[in-house]
Structure 1
């Protein structure tokens, strides 16, 4: 890594099983006045985890699409409301919301139907690490270790 035109070497300061502990160390060093831009939190042995959150039906896909479409419709309604002199803000927003929700529902249902049952669930995908290492700029490792205190 290059910082201000110089090559920076990092060394391990501490290793933790969870991200919260690594974050707590960085917070501790920050509170002690350490220049935290000299630190890194490195996730080791990354893997993806997909948590299945529920079954997805055509009706649910339409409902999710309607929600997304409604927000988009409100945005478009705001845009038209700004550039339409004499138009009622409420009617323009309401029209945008209803039209957006309707089209969103249609697109959501059609998109789900086109999968032909290959993806009949909703999920949230995250990346997790087996452990976390707090790394410090080697030139500042002694100061960081002193401020960190005994392990």
Structure 2
């Protein structure tokens, strides 16, 4: 049974829409509330929808930064390679092998970073980080638990929604008619000829 659940991964048998949220924290709060009410939350999924890619520009790319990023990457690669080769070396040769691998990786990384930056031709003179984010979050629940989930989730108190529902304007009622208001307005006397 456990293996079957692992194979299913992120799927539900017959998922049904339970609620939409604009923020992930609100969706998380709703699931937490359902859990507090002893609802079987293992039958719920939070699905991010309306995905968009966000690229945050972190700074300007220069020759110095390109060399620095290349040096850091090369040094890490050299360290990894030096440690692997150092495992098979004599005990006294281990440190010189690791240090020389770091040095070679650093030099190679600087050269490679500068070549890569030169090939951009100035078309991308900035650094950035990219992330895919959702703009809306949907709660899905197994079809057999949909009614229970809606009932329990309706108990989640949201003062802003309750306040606006309590203060919703009603249709204006007509003022009661008084006897004076029911009579037609007085008409002007007919005009006299020659006046």
TM-score grouping bracket, smaller chain normalisation: 0.7 to 0.9
Runs of 4+ in 1 over 6 A off after TM superposition: none
C-alpha separation between the residues in 2 aligned to 1:18 and 1:128? 11
Shift of 1:23: 2.6
Partner of 2:112: 107
Gap runs ≥5 in structure 2: 1-6, 157-195
C-alpha separation between the residues in 2 aligned to 1:68 and 1:27? 42
C-alpha separation between the residues in 2 aligned to 1:70 and 1:8? 49
Answer whether contact 1:40 1:136 (CA < 8 A) is retained. Answer: yes
C-alpha separation between the residues in 2 aligned to 1:86 and 1:109? 36
Alpha-carbon RMSD across the aligned residues, in angstroms, is: 2.6
Higher fraction of strand: 1
More relative contact order in 1 or in 2 (CA 8 Å, sep 6+)? Answer: 1
Gap runs ≥5 in structure 1: none
Partner of 2:28: 23
Answer whether contact 1:11 1:141 (CA < 8 A) is retained. Answer: yes
**Higher deviation after alignment, 22-31 or 9-18:** 22-31
Q: 1:75 to 1:28 in 2, by over 3 A?
A: farther
**Higher deviation after alignment, 62-71 or 40-49:** 40-49
Tell me the SS of whatever aligns to 2:18.
strand
Larger radius of gyration: 2
Q: TM-score, normalised by structure 2?
A: 0.65
Confirm whether residue 79 of structure 1 aligns to residue 53 of structure 2.
no
Confirm whether residue 70 of structure 1 aligns to residue 62 of structure 2.
no
Partner of 1:12: 17
Answer whether contact 1:70 1:101 (CA < 8 A) is retained. Answer: yes
